[in-house]
Amino acid sequence: MLTGVVFNIQKYSIHDGPGIRTTVFLKGCPLRCQWCHNPEGQSPDPEIALWPSRCLQECRECVSVCDRAALSKSDSLVFLDKNNCDLCGTCADVCPSRAIEIAGRRLSVGEVMEEVEKDLMFHDESGGGVTFSGGEPLMQPEFLQALLEESKKKGIHTTVDTCGFSRPDILDKICDSVDLFLYDLKVMDDRKHRQFTGGSNKAVLENLRRLDKQGKDVIVRIPVIPGVNDEEKDIEEMIGFLRSLENLRLLSLLPYHDLGKEKYRRFTLPYMVGNIQPPAGELIEKIKKRLESSGFEVTTGG
Amino acid sequence: MNERIKKLRQESVSIKPYISSERAILVTRFYKNTASQVLSAPLKRALAFKHLLENKEIYIGQGELIVGERGPSPKATPTYPEITCHSLQDLDILNSREKTSFKVNGETRRIFEEEIIPFWEGQTVREKIFNSMTQEWIDAYEAGVFTEFMEQRAPGHTVLDDKIYSKGFSDFKEDIEKNLASLDYFIDPEAFRKSEQLKAMAVAADALIAYAERHAKEARQLAKREKDTLRKKELQKIADACSHVPKNAPRDFWEALQYYWFVHLGVIIELNTWDSFNPGRLDQHLYPFYKKGIEEGTLSKEKARELLQAFWVKFNNQPAPPKVGVTAEESATYTDFCLINLGGVKPDGSDAVNELTFLILDVVEEMRIVQPSSAVQVSKKNPDRFVKRAIQIVKTGFGQPSFFNTEAIIQEMLRQGKSLEDARQGGASGCIEAGIFGKENYNLTGYFNLPKVLEITLNNGLDPRTGKKIGLETGDPRRFSSFEELFQAFRNQVRYFLDIKVRGNNVIERIFAEYLPTPFLSLLINDCIAKGKDYHDGGARYNNSYIQGVGLGTVTDCLASLRFNVFDRRLISMEQVIEALKKNFEGYEALRQKFLNKTPKYGNDDDYADSLLKDVFEAFYAGVNGRPNTKGGCYRINLLPTTVHIYFGKMTGATPDGRKASEPLSEGISPVQGADRFGPTAVIKSAAKVDHLRTGGTLLNQKFTPQLLADEEGIDKLCHLIRAYFKMDGHHLQFNVVTADTLREAQRHPEKYRDMIVRVAGYSDYFVDLSVDLQNEIIRRTEHQAF
């Protein structure tokens, strides 16, 4: 049975494509964008999340069930030694207060579809559907393909939210089952792209051009990250590329926010981006106007 | 909002409610001086009503356009000593309690002490009711198993239809005369009884006409003295209107509003009816007057807006009659639940939304006051722009309007055997109660504490709070070998307490019918005139008595927890659960957390829990629905709490869903506060598993953060969410759009948030007026974040 690792299924998603959507977050991402607000989506494996504030002082159930001694507790705080942990998830199962949770569960296509189909009423009513996001959904190509095909078989509108960093043949395989791509475009300068995301944008740009040529519905989503891609030069370079596409019409600006910061602590991951402030409203407005003047339809937020 | 309305609104919002002794004095003196042995109850009540209207003070405020007050001035709040006579201690509590207080001055207190209390002691309906109840009833009532609506307020729960807009009270009198003339004393043994009732109704009709005329006279005098020519003209118009209506059918928009207002005053002066007497489908009733006025050029949109706003203020001037004891706790609010319905369908089934619907929505948004409350009836035939306009108002964060499903209401009514045409003219009133406007007595009789009944079941008939045996011995739960056995015990216990409740209510209904008929209200509700029968005695075309189930979410989660942890997974024994509950989870925190976090909960579209909700629903429904009442109708269920889930929570010990003793129960059919983890679609799916169409209304509350409605897209999608719920036959949905942080800030600095209105339970109220428990409960209700 085909399975994949899913770290969340979000209901009433209202900013991930048309209508009311059910967003399935697939775990694993080839990039390491410093501003990533879903850091739990980066590693392809399940991960342990700790919520110290939920932890019960007297309780030691997690420590006592762990046969690899990966957990210890002192001063009513639980510590996880990642090197000893084999991600079996027993500690998360026994924790009464959800102070330990496991992000990423291996689910079958049928299990995911069962959750998605619970929302059919809302999809139908609103012109919504399912969105596959991540992480990077293309990192689990067979699983994604099966989910998309199953969705199409059931008449559910499909959206894929991707960073575009993928082999072109993988993209080709799923293309027919995708109604809409939400396609991230971060920064045109490849040096900067490598610096801030850990990967080159070459494949990203090529894949976008490829989808555009095929006439696929694409909304390009641009995260606006102060100090990374918010200068005039960045925007102009981007416009240059976007205008060279034949069909692209829709853009969406995603202003950086630091709501993901808390998550880094929970997963004991380093927060790379430091203390960036969310971009000012005027800046977003200015970029929006500039993009609109180049002939694009632009929304913000999402 | 123009200066006049601003001033009237400000006055209404800022004056503190106070107890007026006017009504108490008038009614006491009337009864003192009317010792006649040959006056029937209806006639005596009609004469008392007449005496009140002939002698009460007339108030016409500066700048007012719609006139008439229940008391001598705005926010003056009368008492109804014939039903419940407030003791000095009651008055002191009203005066000093922190929330929903009523000022009582020394003079009022003295009058109560010297005149009112000595006369009524031992003579009130309230005392009659308590003296007529069985010991089982008293025990259950005192334990917090149920409440009784009628113990200090008269039956009400009815709404006006369109009849007053085409008929004057002189027309009603003509109908009465005809009926009197056609009474057949040879074959109808009720003929005399009917004639007494009809004569009483005629007296009441004349009393209201004369009362309006007193306003006309006062307005004329004020006009004479008025220097300002514009105001002079207004006062003359007021005088003309008051001479014309309610005697005759209204001629224009202004008179239509003034007419309704006199009728409203008549109802709330006659008795302290529970609750929500209101004009109902206001956009429908007023539209012909609006259209005619605009077409003829005698009314502008702005004038209509101003008149509506002036009308709104009048509702806000009348705080709910002062309640004490349990009744104050079950409904701790100044609001008297007038719920104006907008939209829906016309009697022929077509889309009823019109231009006036939108104008009234503007008024709701601009006025931002707790009374009257507003509801939009959403029919599949109504345009989306109507729903979205309502959402824009919800977004401003004062809990209004609420959303009702027209098609569900119609099906609920049809299932009860009502006609399609009547059903289409019905709607929601009070909090969420569905009924036929102008033709039905759909009386709410009391709340029923489902989790408490489970608690008593888990203690084999004992109330652990008092140690008293008040329930059935349904068996020692530690010996139950299956969940089914436990559920059967619970079902039997529910039935036992429902029997007590229904028996008590059948007595109470008769007490009101025999001792306190209501000839004025009877004029307004079909078919009281035609039948020659009082509203309290089955005169209405449809007569339903409702029992309101409370704590559905809590009891479902409790049962899910017992089934999951004790019977299915065998993680813990029943004995241990009972021990942990007895200790209020002290020393059992890990277990409590497991109950809270690792146990299936209602509200997550998970059939494990949701199927138990359906089982509880069926058990409750089977114990109530279809049992005959004393008015020719029967008992039915609805699912709403007002504020009783706080009181019931206080009366209920720790529960197996992880709730500690005294904490609030869940409200309406909403999930337990914080138990829903998958957002609004999952809540809606779970809630739609209740068979709404077999109820007379259900209440579902959702709390949204402002971000979720920040843009057009958010509003669009909420509109779809509402439509989807209604496609699944959901009855009602309401939203609080305010952040938990804002609410906490308001708790800390109430002075800065005096005007912050939130949705409580089928109605909105000032947040700072709510009890701290209720405030906390609202903060805890799941706040759906933007995703």
Chain A residues whose beta carbon lies within 8 Å of the beta carbon of residue B590: 56, 58-59, 61, 96-97
Q: What is the pLDDT of residue B111?
A: 98
- Give chain A's contact residues with B (Cβ, < 8 Å): 10-15, 19-20, 23, 56, 58-59, 61, 96-98, 118-119, 121-122, 125-126, 128, 301
Q: CA B289, CA B242: separation in Å to the nearest integer? A: 17
How close A206 comes to chain B (CA, Å)?
Answer: 30
pLDDT at B256 over 90: yes
- pLDDT grade for A272, boundaries at 50, 70 and 90: confident
Write the pLDDT tens digit of every residue in B84-98. Answer: 999 999 999 999 988
How close B727 comes to chain A (CA, Å)?
Answer: 9
The percentage of residues in chain B with a pLDDT greater than 70, rounded to a whole number, is 98
Q: CA B165, CA B136: separation in Å to the nearest integer? A: 48
Q: CA B117, CA B87: separation in Å to the nearest integer? A: 7
Would you call A20 and B594 a contact, using CB atoms and an 8 Å cutoff? no
Whether pTM > 0.80 for this model: the answer is yes
Q: What is the pLDDT of residue B787?
A: 42
What the block records as the tokens of B765 is 């109220």
Would you call A20 and B679 a contact, using CB atoms and an 8 Å cutoff? no
pLDDT at B786 over 50: no
Write the pLDDT tens digit of every residue in B304-348. Answer: 999 999 999 999 999 999 988 887 877 778 999 999 999 999 999
Lowest mean pLDDT among A279-288, B213-222, B231-240: A279-288
Chain B residues whose beta carbon lies within 8 Å of the beta carbon of residue A250: none
Phi and psi torsions of B306, nearest 5°: -65, -45
A186 and A193 Cβ atoms separated by less than 8 Å: yes
Mean pLDDT taken over chain B: 94
3-state secondary structure of B546: strand
- pLDDT grade for A271, boundaries at 50, 70 and 90: confident
Q: What is the largest CA-CA distance in chain B?
A: 85
Beta bridge partners of B446: B547
pLDDT at B135 over 60: yes
pLDDT at A111 over 70: yes
B636 and B441 Cβ atoms separated by less than 8 Å: no
Chain B residues whose beta carbon lies within 8 Å of the beta carbon of residue A125: 720, 723-724, 727
Which residue in the list B196, B329, B433, B509 is annotated as catalytic? Answer: B433
How close A56 comes to chain B (CA, Å)?
Answer: 7
**CA dist B323 to A94, B79, B91, B153, B445, Å?**
49, 10, 10, 8, 16
Q: Identify the residue with better confidence: B517 or B764.
A: B517
- Give chain B's contact residues with A (Cβ, < 8 Å): 589-594, 596-598, 605, 678-682, 685, 708, 710-711, 713-714, 716-717, 720-721, 723-724, 727-728, 784, 786-787
- Rounded to 5°, angle at Cα B179 from B426 and B159: 20
Q: What is the pLDDT of residue B89?
A: 95
Q: Among B564, B571, B592, B593, which would you mutate to test the A interface (most chain A Cβ atoms within 10 Å of its Cβ)?
A: B593
How close B745 comes to chain A (CA, Å)?
Answer: 22
DSSP conformation letters of A46-105: -EEEE-GGG--SS--HHHHH-TT--EEEETTEEEE-TTT-----HHHHH-TTSSEEEE-E
Would you call A20 and B720 a contact, using CB atoms and an 8 Å cutoff? yes
Q: What is the pLDDT of residue B771?
A: 80
**Does residue B127 have an active-site annotation?**
no
Write the pLDDT tens digit of every residue in B24-47. Answer: 999 999 999 998 889 999 999 999
Chain B residues whose beta carbon lies within 8 Å of the beta carbon of residue A126: 716-717, 720-721, 724
Chain B residues whose beta carbon lies within 8 Å of the beta carbon of residue A20: 681, 717, 720-721, 724
Write the pLDDT tens digit of every residue in B686-728. Answer: 999 999 999 999 999 887 777 778 788 889 999 999 999 999 9
The gap from C-alpha B526 to its chain's centroid, in whole angstroms, comes to 21
Q: Which of A11, A97, A121 sits opposite B597 (nearest CB)?
A: A97
Phi and psi torsions of B430, nearest 5°: 65, -115
Angle at which helices B607-624 and B483-515 cross, to 10° = 40
Q: What is the pLDDT of residue B738?
A: 81
Would you call A20 and B727 a contact, using CB atoms and an 8 Å cutoff? no
Q: Which amino acid type is present at position B186?
A: F
Q: Which amino acid type is present at position A138?
A: L
B430 and B757 Cβ atoms separated by less than 8 Å: no
Which residue in the list B85, B242, B338, B431 is annotated as catalytic? Answer: B431
Instruction: Report the pLDDT averaged over residues B103-112.
Output: 98
Write the pLDDT tens digit of every residue in A180-220. Answer: 999 999 999 999 999 999 999 999 999 999 999 999 999 99
**Does residue B196 have an active-site annotation?**
no
Q: How many residues does this entry show for chain A?
A: 302
How close B786 comes to chain A (CA, Å)?
Answer: 8
Instruction: Report the pLDDT averaged over residues B186-206.
Output: 98
Instruction: Report the pLDDT averaged over residues A23-32.
Output: 96
pLDDT at B11 over 50: yes
- pLDDT grade for B764, boundaries at 50, 70 and 90: low
Q: CA B323, CA B339: separation in Å to the nearest integer? A: 20
Write the pLDDT tens digit of every residue in B519-540. Answer: 999 999 999 999 999 999 999 9
Would you call B727 and A119 a contact, using CB atoms and an 8 Å cutoff? no
Instruction: Report the pLDDT averaged over residues B630-655.
Output: 95
DSSP B488: H
The percentage of residues in chain A with a pLDDT greater than 90, rounded to a whole number, is 75
Q: What is the pLDDT of residue B770?
A: 80
pLDDT at A243 over 80: yes
pLDDT at A36 over 80: yes
Strand-pair category, A71-74 with B634-638:
unpaired
Write the pLDDT tens digit of every residue in B137-194. Answer: 999 999 999 999 999 999 988 999 999 999 999 999 999 999 999 999 999 999 999 9
How close B724 comes to chain A (CA, Å)?
Answer: 6
Q: Which residue of B has its CA nearest to A10?
A: B678
| A:B CB pairs within 8 Å | 78
Residue in the block written with tokens 């977004």: B395
Mean pLDDT taken over chain A: 92
**CB neighbour list of residue A144: distance below 8 Å, 6 or more residues apart:** A4, A26, A132, A137, A138, A160, A174
The percentage of residues in chain A with a pLDDT greater than 70, rounded to a whole number, is 98
Chain B residues whose beta carbon lies within 8 Å of the beta carbon of residue A23: 787
- Rounded to 5°, angle at Cα A120 from A117 and A124: 155
Q: What is the pLDDT of residue B763?
A: 67
